[in-house]
Structure 1
Amino acid sequence: MDSTPAAGENISVLRKARGMGQTKLARLSGISVSYLSKIENGDRPATPPVVAALAKPLRVSTARIYGQPFLGLTEQADLLNDLRDAVRRHTLPREDAPAPDELTSRLQKAARLRSDTKYLELLRELPALLGQATATALDAGSDALAWRQLANLYGCAYAVTHRFVQPDLADMIVARQQWAAQSTWNPAAEAAAAWNEAGTHQSAGAYDDGLAIVERAISQYQGSRSDGPESIVILGSLHLRGVVLASRHRDKNATESHLQHAKRYATRLDGDVLMHNLTFGAGNTALYELAAHVELDQPNKAVEMSTALVAQPPAGLKPNRLGRLFIDLSRARLAMKDAPGAEEALKAAFRVSPQMAEIHPMSREVLRVLFIMNQRARPDLLAMAERAGLTA
């Protein structure tokens, strides 16, 4: 992976380019000068809510602050360009429709790669696969199944562009997913697209707008839903998205409301269920609750929750969810000034979900702080920092 400046370095460069001192930027962002200084120096991680607050007066995107280590002469950059071209040509696929069994097999592979956080491998599949799925849907006319397959595939494409910090491409993909979902005549497909739409606002730090998307999607879907597992997964997942948005917006009441709704829906499922690229159940709800504690500056509660979750991870959860568990735990432990514990959690994230751990903004931020604290004294820490491109 190419080396990329850390968030703190980017903030410092952007601040100086705007002619701002630390005092002015801190005041406009609603944080203390001391906190801003520690972020710029690499002594504190740049968390999503703080980055969102800083991005506004700096007049840049949150992606610009976190940096984009995937834009050089790398395979990732080439593949992202191929994907961008495929998404742009969404009504003009170059590929022909394959045999139904072949398409189904490739779609299942893409879903597995997403769940296993094998993002580079997924990127290799997506451009041609999107063309094939689109050609199939266009040939099928009003066949709802073909359009649902395409909508779900766009969900996979959203996941990978979100992880590779490509907000403009992610926005375009969500629009394509909504286009495909409208042809399914299935409200669940449209609600799944809304889940990703809210995610684009989350990535941009527009948490209130994301919450509005979630609340609208819940209201619309409740008016057309059935009482089967699909409805539970859709509504529960929307509430989990609400948990993230509300906790980053520092709205404890909204966070608790969405969390309680999700918990009630989770009791109606036997374990965690994956549908429309959405995972929902009691296990995943617990992981979102832990993450909310971190966002609401309650790291002690997150660490307390983690004991049972780490000892016996919820059955059925894929690496994309377990990787997030350990990344969130590393944040909580670092906030509790437990540097060895934070390093241990990051090691677990690299074991269970290596590609996510290498590129996730908060994994990189925690790793950066630990690396600055310890420099080259800890070989395992150095190895993780090298894999994430943080040592050059």
Structure 2
Amino acid sequence: MRMLRDERGWKQEELARRAGLSRPHIGKIERGERTLTQGVAAALARAFGVSLEVVLGSTPVVGAEDSLKALNSAIRRFDLPAESTASPEQLKAALAEMAEIRGKADLTQVLLKLPPLVSEVTNHAHRTGTPEAWAMVAEAYSCVYWLAARHRWMTLADLAVTKQKIAAQQADPVTLAVAARDEAGVYLNHGEFEDGLAVVDRAITQVERGDATGFERSYALGTLHLRGLTLAGRLGDKRTADRHIDSAWVLAEDFDRDVCRAGGIGGIHFGPQNTAIHVVATCSDLRRYADAIAVMRDLTKDPARRPLRLPATRTSPMYMNTARSKLALGDRDGALEDLEKAWSIAPQMAKVHPTSQELIRVLTTLHKRSNPRLVRLAQKADIEF
């Protein structure tokens, strides 16, 4: 922020005016006394006239350059299929394995295994042309989008959702709804929250007017409303966020536990627990910090009777968001404790996640004396303390 501001010759007051923020807010972020949330980062990106990726930074590829090149090559060959040798059963097993790896937030293994998987499902879909085959292609590209978004490789994310949408249009309505969810996610990652909400609203209307019924209809609408409440929270639109929150809670009542679509999109859950986790994040974005902590406590208060059944990709960010809320309320020890939980659950994700990085940056600034626990986290995150 300071570098971008100095390049333009702006004082903090000028940046605050252009971004719609207060000067003290700008100052606290620059001094490391307040976390830079993604919603505020988006406002700053617009003020600077740069992408959100520039403000937040992207994660460099270290030691996996060949896998990334292979993935880009597989994506380029979307319309140049080779001979298909894998059976539908083998491809379903490979997708199930990918969903398991993704659920553990093992980003390294996801990148390693994605290139051949993308090629194989695409070749199979071109050979058979069935909706089921194209649904598998859309699922693979949903995973490409997820990987790219985690690292903030936004060019790859844009490309992934374009291919995903092409495949989904040849599959079924629910696969198309999930593709719209990921398309809205790209707008989220670019900080273009209003456009993302427009994509969500259009997709919701299509599902409501479409042929999907029962479980599939609730699943499709539920995942879209979760994306909607996240976008509205980042935008600071409380009314729209509450509308999506209320709708998601109503749809979650159709599920006694969180599920992925049967035989379908791996890694994308909907149900009461994932709804709660999304509400935690959105409450943090809307500065309803006490509400965020209360929802998390209710979700985790009885692990013996109600264990968290969601993968690390969901539970780790939940603790990042409760850490953010606790820090905002002045509970540094509680924030550090929750941040440690986030790292223990999904260390690879925590290392690249902007919320985790920002929390460590602020905690190291606020702690005037050395804290061994915080030092260990800072070392893991490659942040000097």
TM-score by length of 1: 0.92
CA distance in 2 between counterparts of 1:305 and 1:239 reads 18
Q: CA deviation at 1:78?
A: 4.1
* Structure 1 segment 313-332 matched on structure 2, within 5 A: 315-332=308-325
Contact 1:106/1:129, CA 8 A, preserved across alignment: yes
Give the secondary-structure state (helix, strand or coil) at the position aligned to 1:246: helix
Letter in 2 for 1:350: W
Residue 213 of structure 2, aligned match among 218, 227, 246: 227
Aligned residue number for residue 150 of structure 1: 137
Does structure 1 retain, via aligned residues, the 8 Å contact 2:236–2:286? yes
> Which residue in the other structure is 1:361 paired with?
354
- 1:135-146 mapped onto 2 (5 Å cutoff): 135-140=123-128, 142-146=129-133
Please tell me the residue identity of whatever aligns with 2:146: A
Equivalent residue of 1:279, what SS? coil
Q: Secondary structure of 1:133's partner? A: helix
Q: Which amino acid aligns with 1:224?
A: G
- The alignment status of 1:15 with 2:5, answered yes or no, reads yes
Residue number among 104, 120, 142 corresponding to 1:116 in the alignment? 104
1:30 is the counterpart of 2:55: no
Pairs within 5 Å for 1:1-392:
11-71=1-61, 74-93=62-81, 96-140=84-128, 142-184=129-171, 186-275=172-261, 276-277=265-266, 278-312=268-302, 315-374=308-367, 377-391=370-384
Letter paired with 2:32? G
Aligned partner of 1:6 in structure 2 is none
CA contact (8 A) 1:70 1:76 kept: no
Q: Residue by residue, what CA displacement relative to the aligned partner does 1:58-97 show, whole Å, maximum 9, x if unpaired? A: 11111111112314xx124443333222212212256743
Residue 178 of structure 1 deviates from its aligned partner by 0.5
Distance in 1 (CA, whole Å) between partners of 2:149 and 2:59 is 13
- Residue deviations 1:43-65, cap 9 Å, x none? 11110111000001211111111
Q: Which moved more, 1:306-315 or 1:26-35?
A: 306-315
Give the root-mean-square deviation of aligned CA atoms.
1.7
- CA gap of 1:67–1:77, structure 2 versus 1, over 3 A, is farther
Change in 2 beyond 3 A, CA 1:294/1:340? same
Q: Which amino acid aligns with 1:317?
A: L
Counterparts of 1:267 and 1:318 in 2: how far apart (Å)?
20
Match in the other structure for 1:3: none
Query: Taking structure 1 as reference, are residues 76 and 388 closer, same or farther at Cα in structure 2, changes over 3 Å only?
Result: farther
Q: Percent identity?
A: 35
Amino acid paired to 1:366 = L
Q: 1:95 to 1:365 in 2, by over 3 A?
A: farther
Post-superposition Cα deviations, 1:263-291, rounded to whole Å, max 9, x if no partner, equal 11111112111122421111111111121
Which residue identity does 1:355 align to in structure 2? Answer: Q
Give secondary structure in 2 for the equivalent of 1:69.
coil
Give yes or no for contact 2:259–2:270 (8 Å, CA) kept in 1.
yes
SS at match of 1:45: coil
Aligned-partner Cα distance in 1 for 2:302–2:105: 21
Secondary structure in 1 aligned to 2:269? strand
TM score, norm. by length of structure 2: 0.94
Aligned-partner Cα distance in 1 for 2:319–2:64:
25
> Once the 2 structures are TM-superposed, how far is the Cα of residue 172 of structure 1 from its aligned partner?
0.4
- 1:323 touches 1:352 (CA, 8 Å); kept in 2? yes
Is contact 1:97–1:133 with CA below 8 Å preserved after alignment?
no
Local SS of the residue matching 2:260: strand
Distance 2:254 2:294 in 1: 26
1:337-376 superposed Cα distances (whole Å, 9 cap, x missing partner): 1111000001111111221111111011011111222367
Larger mean CA deviation between 14-23 and 313-322 belongs to 313-322
Moved more, 80-89 or 158-167: 80-89
User: Residue 76 and residue 226 in structure 1: after superposition, are their counterparts in 2 closer, same or farther (change >3 A)?
Assistant: same
Cα distance in 2 between the residues matched to 1:183 and 1:326: 38
Q: Partners in 2 of 1:370 and 1:312 — Cα distance? A: 30
The CA deviation string for residues 278-309 of structure 1, in whole angstroms up to 9 with x for no partner, is 21111111111121211111112212222222
1: CA distance between counterparts of 2:250 and 2:274?
Answer: 13
1:227 to 1:52, Cα distance in 2 relative to 1, 3 A? same
The residue identity in structure 1 corresponding to 2:34 is R
Unaligned segments of structure 1, at least 5 residues: 1-10
- The residue type equivalent to 1:28 in the other structure is R
Of 379-388 and 123-132, the range deviating more from structure 2: 379-388
Distance, in Å, in 1 between the alignment partners of 2:298 and 2:208 is: 34
